[in-house]
């Protein structure tokens, strides 16, 4: 089994490195290839498989494969005691394959193949542990993503009016009606996959999956699919006013950052941080800078994968407890993992000269340089401050003086788990500057007043202080006269979105489905036409079975009746 994991690790590592270097070559020489394979042709219609290779798709494929190889090597130890570890490996490989289809396709049909594949395989991974919580989370995940699948299907039918599904040919020549509806459908599809408001509730619920899967899903595959789709269609969506979508993305970033500050589940905090970064990518994209969004998507993939793998090792050592209140003083027990976790957290915060700093600082500078609404501007900076706040709160809870409630004797750092952490730590430190030199060879010069120049640093320091203050608070403290416990309950529930997505929907839909079932499946046609003969046979068979099981009693009763009947006749 370990050899199988090792084989796929080496294969994906070699492929990932090759694709990344190929992407660098394509970028430096501005080369792109479009390969079109005609599968079947019938009269004037044909079905083709298209592959579009440019620097953007090849670099992203390289990143996905590199992270997948690290996750598979990590899983060889993490899932070593699982009885279905081969099945787990195959599902993860299917997941990576679906993402490859989505990345390289300029054709909406083959994009749907990858898009739907991601939704289906993610459902299989979320319900992997097969308990009620996993089943509910998996159902919420796949039903949320089905909305996006329907939008892609309708987009396919719209594009069919143009004569082909290869969108790269028609983005500049679409009819105004077709392009307007296509833009709305694609943004709705990407919102479902990237969990923007009001589809945010499935992302924390999907934490029911094994931790290596979470590292893959939240770094470079499932949740970034929506962002990548909009980057590909950026030429189309920039024709229209995107202010409403920009507001929704900023609110997603703010809401997830606020919720993460009042959450105690380690994996859910990191999931909410992913949601916050997705809001950042979408916001920058809707502001008109898709290159900056793509840059942040790549840098985010490396440090978020590192963060999840470190969290998995911490949970492993903590006897499978995910509550950060049970942790503390881990720096003395698993020092290397804690160091990697701190590096990934600081990179997420945008600490100077780590990879997250380059993309995040560029996003903030680009926003400051443009004419952005003051409400959006303030919301954006507060959300960045909240990122620092929950990241440092997490570090305070996990690594400072011991305040845990449980005793642990499972502290160890497995060598097989540490190798992926080493490589991802190097990438989390160096990928930002390297990618910036590659993607932006001619840097822009932004000239700001002093207050705007130091504003990101001020919010970083303010967020760090606030995170420390929140980590010091107890349940019975009060904030502005409100009980901390009340604030905890209110802010940690993501503005009641999980309730809207679950209770409000299934309570009403169960009643509607029952009424539909009775009306459609058990209407008069069922009884009078197709149900008569089975009902008659059922009645007769039950009568015959009673007769056969009670034949002695029936003979006696019939004899008595016959005797009385004969007496009456004789008289």
User: pLDDT, tens digit, for every residue of 13-62?
Assistant: 999 999 999 999 998 888 888 888 877 777 766 777 788 888 988 999 99
If we measure between CA atoms, which residue out of 334, 223, 328, 324 comes closest to residue 280? 223
C-beta separation of 309 from 215 below 8 A? yes
> Looking at the chain, how many residues does it have?
571
What contacts 277, CB < 8 A, 6 or more positions away? 296, 300, 304, 348
pLDDT 10s digits, 281-292: 999 999 888 888
Helix residue ranges, H only, 194-334:
202-205, 211-219, 225-232, 234-237, 243-260, 266-287, 290-317
Q: Which stretches of the chain drop beneath a pLDDT of 70?
A: 1-2, 44-45, 163-164, 168-176, 401-412, 473-490, 492, 501-510, 517-531, 550-551, 571
The answer to whether the pTM exceeds 0.85 is no
Contact 344/306 with Cβ under 8 angstroms? yes
User: Quick check: 392 and 466 in contact, CB under 8 A?
Assistant: no
Q: What is the pLDDT of residue 18?
A: 92
Predicted pLDDT at 526: 64
Cα–Cα dist 265/397, whole Å: 11
Q: Which two tokens stand for residue 486?
A: 């009340």
221: its two tokens: 């595959």
């Amino acid at each position: 089994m370990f050899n199988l994991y090792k084989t796929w690790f080496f294969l994906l590592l070699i492929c990932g490195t090759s694709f990344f270097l190929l992407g660098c070559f394509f970028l430096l020489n501005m080369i792109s290839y479009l390969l079109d394979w005609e599968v079947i042709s019938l009269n004037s219609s044909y079905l083709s498989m298209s592959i579009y290779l440019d620097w953007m798709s090849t670099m992203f494929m390289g990143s996905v494969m590199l992270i997948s190889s690290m996750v598979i090597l990590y899983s060889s130890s993490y899932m070593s005691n699982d009885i279905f570890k081969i099945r787990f490996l195959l599902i993860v490989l299917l997941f990576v394959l679906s993402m490859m289809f989505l990345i390289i396709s300029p054709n909406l049909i083959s994009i749907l193949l990858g898009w739907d594949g991601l939704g289906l395989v993610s459902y299989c991974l979320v319900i992997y542990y097969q308990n009620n919580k996993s089943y509910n989370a998996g159902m919420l995940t796949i039903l949320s993503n089905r909305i996006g699948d329907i939008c892609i299907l309708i987009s396919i039918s719209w594009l069919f009016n143009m004569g082909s599904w290869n969108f790269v040919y028609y983005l500049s020549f679409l009819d105004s009606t077709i392009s307007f509806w296509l833009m709305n459908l694609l943004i709705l599809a990407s919102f479902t996959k990237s969990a923007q408001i009001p589809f945010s509730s499935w992302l924390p619920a999907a934490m029911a999956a094994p931790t290596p899967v979470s590292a893959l899903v939240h770094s470079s595959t499932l949740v970034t699919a929506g962002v990548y789709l909009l980057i590909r269609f950026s030429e189309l969506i920039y024709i229209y006013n995107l202010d409403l979508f920009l507001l929704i993305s900023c609110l997603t970033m703010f809401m997830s950052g606020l919720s993460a500050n009042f959450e105690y589940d380690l994996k859910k905090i990191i999931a909410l941080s992913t949601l916050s970064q997705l809001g950042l990518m979408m916001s920058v994209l809707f502001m008109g800078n898709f290159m900056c969004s793509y840059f942040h998507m790549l840098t985010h993939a490396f440090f978020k994968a590192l963060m999840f793998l470190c969290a998995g090792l911490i949970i492993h050592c903590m006897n499978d407890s995910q509550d950060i209140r049970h942790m503390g003083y881990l720096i003395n027990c698993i020092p290397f993992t804690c160091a990697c976790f701190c590096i990934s957290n600081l990179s997420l915060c945008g600490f100077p000269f780590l990879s997250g700093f380059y993309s995040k600082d560029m996003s903030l500078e680009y926003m400051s340089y443009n004419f952005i609404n003051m409400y959006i501007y303030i919301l954006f900076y507060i959300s960045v401050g909240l990122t620092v706040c929950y990241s440092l709160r997490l570090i305070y809870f996990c690594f400072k003086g011991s305040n845990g409630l449980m005793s642990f004797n499972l502290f160890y750092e497995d060598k097989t788990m540490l190798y992926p952490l080493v490589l991802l730590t190097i990438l989390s430190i160096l990928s930002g500057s390297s990618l910036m030199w590659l993607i932006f060879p001619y840097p822009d010069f932004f000239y700001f007043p002093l207050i705007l120049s130091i504003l990101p640093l001020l919010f970083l320091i303010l967020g760090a202080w606030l995170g420390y203050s929140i980590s010091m608070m107890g349940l019975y403290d009060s904030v502005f006269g409100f009980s901390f416990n009340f604030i905890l309950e209110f802010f940690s529930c993501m503005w009641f979105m999980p309730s809207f997505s679950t209770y409000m929907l299934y309570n009403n839909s169960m009643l509607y489905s029952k009424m539909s079932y009775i009306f459609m499946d058990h209407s008069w046609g069922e009884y009078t036409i197709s149900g008569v003969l089975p009902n008659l046979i059922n009645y007769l068979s039950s009568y015959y079975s009673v007769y056969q099981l009670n034949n002695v009693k029936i003979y006696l009763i019939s004899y008595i009746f016959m005797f009385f009947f004969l007496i009456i006749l004789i008289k």
